[in-house]
Amino acid sequence: MTKAVRGVIAETQKRPAKVVQVWQSVVNIVLVEAKNLTPSSNGQPPDPYVKFKLGSEKYKSKVVSKTLAPKWLEQFDLHIFDENNQVLEISVCDKHSNTVIGKKPLDLSKFEREETQETWIALEENAGSVLLLLSISGTATSDTVVDLQEFTGNDIRTALATKYDWVHSFNNMKDVGYLSVKVFRAQNLAAADIGGKSDPFAVLELVNARLQTHTEYKTLNPEWNKLFTFAVKDIHSVLEVTVYDEDPNKKVEFLGKVAIPLIKIKNCEKRWYALKDRKLEHRAKGQILLELDVIWNPFKAAVRTFNPREKKFIAQDPKFKRAVFMNNFNRLKTFALGILEVAEFVESCWNWDSYTRSSLAFISFLVVVYNFELYHLPLLILIFFLRSYVYKRVAEEMEFRMRGRSFVPSVDRSGSVESDDDNDYLAEEQSLKSSLFRTKSAPASSPLRSSQSSSSLLPTVSFRVVVLRANEKATSLKEKIAAVQDTLGLVQNWLDFIASLFERVRNTLNFTTTYLSALAIIVLCAATVLLYFVPVRWIIMAWGINKFTKKLRNPHFIPNNELLDFLSRVPCDQELRWYSEFRPDPIPSGDLGEREGSARKR
């Protein structure tokens, strides 16, 4: 076949086929901050930003104005296409002067694979340093455990169990435990491509640690067969497993997600997890097969519980939304109505609306006050725990009789899960258990997810910044609207904080997390004994000496409130909805033997 080219008959010119490269590993970079940067030539602080270059891939961060210690909190994914070219070039530049402040080449071949490393990178010529969270994962299956069915790791698990037993409770207090995650496969994922297929890969996140599998192309039922390990710093952390679709334009498309609290993991149980949407509130298409195993030291975990949570660097700041504001208001209104009922009851006793009730209340008041001792306070809280425990047992018995079977879906011989009209069976279980403990039912509105996964329980919006901004003279309508939104956002976050605080206290008494409730009971028993035998003045002196000398003993100490740190580990009602599980699709008959075999290994 020929064609005319400017009037001359010539052969058809074919375009060279575009070569599609397949990456070998993914380099995930979280750019946190920099410090001690070199000022500009005129002595003024620079407008710094960071450029990353790995092979032919290039990325750059946002610009931070006029500072020597910028904070970016950005995430980048680069790819290793050639094992012989693993040099990551880092350049810190000044936007104002268009100059390079400092640079540093990193040889990625020297970094451990499948592990997140937090490291300060010193720039050349003492130009400052940059804090990065760097992890290299997504390697091909040939470089890892190929057949996870044949991999048991019993010797490794025995050694780890010895490492985290009670005898080694005082060795390296920050090393709480060890988590291993086996990612086998997913099935029935959503189709993201035009041809009805997807290019799925899974990302595993444990606070700031982030690892991922390789990509399986053109399939809705990918098989990864990967083994990941994480160092556990807090047993109350949450493992997030997210499935994405890889696009040729280096963007990703969300397919599904599941959040699993470490404290709820059943070790060595191979099972399917139904995927949920981004907000972890509704069912998404597909499910993923995982096997989790966490080994941890209870004493180290207890000490860590009364310390601040690890700060998650990549977290969205909560913005004002009317639906979220109204939901927080209704949550707080539920507790306010309960407090109002108690106040009305006390008022009726004072007004002698019922002579019998008021007489009994008056006599009880005199007897309690006359015999009151300070150690009675923790005893009173222990009575509330006992009451809640009895109610919990009664609720479980009622639920068992109503259902006539266990909470967990059983598997018949054909390998299918017994169907039930209620999809969210664990969410229903939680609502049935807590129904006896609530004075009022929770509002039916579905709240949107906020950035509750941050390290602090307190609202993340600074009160001082909002007040200063509100007091500034607004010169435009846009500034006025921004000031109003900031103020409403502050009120929204405080409503969420107070409502969550009430819910966490109630969920502690309700044994929602058995470990935390048991820990609270142990602390209250110790407080009762301490208050009974030790004079209060000595306890106050010991507390004051500890507070005054903390900064002297540890200059890098971060002031904290132990009670709020403890309550931050107790899930609120929103978090319970995020962590609840939907019933997975019927399990194929071939997977029944795998599940039973995993159970025999235990």
Per-residue pLDDT at 260? 95
- Report the pLDDT averaged over residues 543-552: 87
Rg from Cα positions in the chain: 29
Query: Among residues of the chain, what percentage have pLDDT more than 70?
Result: 78
Residue 267 vs residues 167, 270, 292: alpha-carbon distances, Å:
22, 9, 6
What gap in Å lies between CA 31 and CA 531, rounded to an integer?
49
pTM above 0.85, yes or no: no
Q: Looking at the domain that runs over 25-136, which CATH code has it been given?
A: 2.60.40.150
Residues in Cβ contact with 77 at an 8 Å cutoff, skipping those fewer than 6 apart? 26, 27, 28, 29, 250
In 3-state terms the chain splits into helix, strand, coil percentages (rounded to 5) of 35, 25, 40
Q: Give the domain ranges of the chain.
A: 25-136, 141-305, 322-412+419-571
Task: List, in sequence order, the alpha helices (H) in 131-190.
Answer: 154-163
Length of the chain: 602
Residue 518 confidence class, pLDDT cut points 50, 70, 90: very high
What are the tokens at 435?
């129904």
Per-residue pLDDT at 243? 95
More confident residue, 583 or 248: 583
96-110, 139-153, 270-284, range with the lowest pLDDT: 139-153
Per-residue pLDDT at 415? 37
Per-residue pLDDT at 460? 46
Per-residue pLDDT at 1? 46
Residue 446 confidence class, pLDDT cut points 50, 70, 90: very low
380-413 residue pLDDT tens: 999 989 988 888 888 888 877 777 654 444 333 3
Helix (H) or strand (E) holding 275: strand 269-276
356-379 residue pLDDT tens: 999 999 999 999 999 988 899 999
- Report the pLDDT averaged over residues 519-528: 94
Mean pLDDT for all residues in the chain: 80
Decide if pLDDT at 144 tops 50: no
Residue 42 confidence class, pLDDT cut points 50, 70, 90: confident
- Assigned CATH class of 141-305: mainly beta
Per-residue pLDDT at 193? 84
What gap in Å lies between CA 533 and CA 539, rounded to an integer?
11
Are domains 25-136 and 141-305 of this chain identical in fold? yes
Strand partners, 243: 202, 256
What sign for the dihedral angle of Cα 240, 245, 246, 251? Answer: negative
Residue 242's nearest CA partner among 270, 180, 284, 271 is 284
